[in-house]
Amino acid sequence: MELKRSLGLFDAFAIGLGAIIGAGIFVVIGVATSLAGPAMLLSLLIAGVVSALTAISFVHLARFIPREGGGYEYAHELVSPFGGFISGWMWLLSNIVTGSAVALGFAGYLAVYIPLPVNLMAALACLAITGINYMGSRESATANNILVVFKLVVLLLFVVFGLSLINGAFFSPFVPSGAMGVMEGAAVIFFAFSGFGRVAMISEEVRDPTRTVPKAIILALAVSGVIYMLVAVVAIGTIGSSSLSTSNSPLADAAALEGNVMANLVTIGALAATLSVLLTTLLGLSRITFAMGRNHDLPAVLSKLHPKRQTPYIAILVFGMLMTVFALTTDILKAVAISNFGSLVYYSIANLAAMRIARPTRGKVLPILGLVSCAGLLIFLTTDAWLLGIGALVVGAGYYYLYPRRKHGSSTKVGSRGA
């Protein structure tokens, strides 16, 4: 089963940026601000550092195992088949819910123009993205590239025109909820960075993946981190944390001070941003499912490729429908918490995999820090996230050992670099 290598560095970078910059900055910034106040800037910094530590692990792993499936493949080969399965299983949980959360963010901004039920519009967005992904990776990448460029321009305009409107009084008191509020904010705003590993999911569709994928991961995380901090400073400084924390479209409300034209532009930018995250979310879901089906960790039919488009079309359709159902039935606060639990477990296991290839011993320091920091953020998630996350782990473990057609062992070799 061969995937077509049709993506270059800009495509991979744009997929990473498309996966990162979306509902996190346009919607979840309000949720994090409600927990930490203006100190959400510290929460953002902490979440960025945690992401950067794990991203370094992904850079090393992507060079060592440039295969479709990202962290799932790394854990499958370097930790254990069971560790790989749990990694992939939790990523699937995380990203199905991520898709619904992002779709709800999209619908919240679209409601400014179309007064329809938010959950219905979110579900329709999931169906539209399923159609685009079905067309093929080249078509998906082209659509994503356009959306990414547009939302970057919008965010930069928001920052440039908003800097002169910042009111320093909105930053005092800076830490109204104490250190606990800052850490709870970091656990939530991690959602804004969690897409950086999605580039590794498509390694077999990227040209020269051992160089392209690591570069794309680093570039996407660095650019998004700088933009996030600038946007957050302007948003807090223009309307204050109390207004941000109660808004369904926080950046549009902040942009309203810059005039109706900017408010409308930011709203349209938010729609583009959330659509691009939805696009890459389903892209990642279908590719990790392809890898798990190929290794017989999931039904092999999910790894079946379209005869013409060479994409895992059954996986795209199945998970597109699951995202649609979740978008109809969930709310954004619960979705973000559950998504972060799954992502942090997945990234913790990826750091453990990176420890296995680190040489010499001092090379293990960064993946250990990545593992500890991811585990640390888990502590600050809500009780609901823990209960549902542990429930998902138990169900996943049961499936792994009871699935009758599973073939134990890997179909690949450690360090396999592919074609």
- At residue 351, the pLDDT reads 94
pLDDT band at 414 (very low <50, low <70, confident <90, very high): very low
Segments in 205-259 forming alpha helices (H): 209-239, 241-245, 250-255
Q: Which residues contact 216 (CB under 8 A, 6 or more apart)?
A: 9, 12, 13, 15, 16, 199, 206
The predicted structure's pLDDT at residue 248: 67
Domains in the chain, start-ordered, CATH in brackets? 9-402 (1.20.1740.10)
Enter the pTM of the model. Answer: 0.82
Mean pLDDT (the chain, rounded) = 84
Look-up of token digits 């960025």: 48
Q: Which of the two residues, 338 and 185, has the higher pLDDT score? A: 185
Q: Measure the CA–CA gap between 186 and 50, rounded to whole angstroms.
A: 10
Interval 198-236: pLDDT, tens: 788 778 788 888 888 899 999 999 999 999 999 999 999
pLDDT digits (tens, 9 = 90+) for 92-103: 888 888 888 888
| Interior angle at CA 319, CA 270 and CA 327, nearest 5 | 45
Tokens, residue 364: 């293990």
Q: pLDDT at position 62, please?
A: 87
407, burial (CB in 10 Å: exposed 0-12, middle 13-18, buried 19+)? exposed
The pLDDT assigned to 415 comes to 43
Task: Categorize the per-residue pLDDT at 418 as very low, low, confident or very high, splitting at 50, 70 and 90.
Answer: very low
Which phi and psi angles does 206 have, rounded to 5°? -110, 140
Question: pLDDT category, 137, cuts 50, 70, 90?
Answer: low
CA end-to-end span of the chain: 12
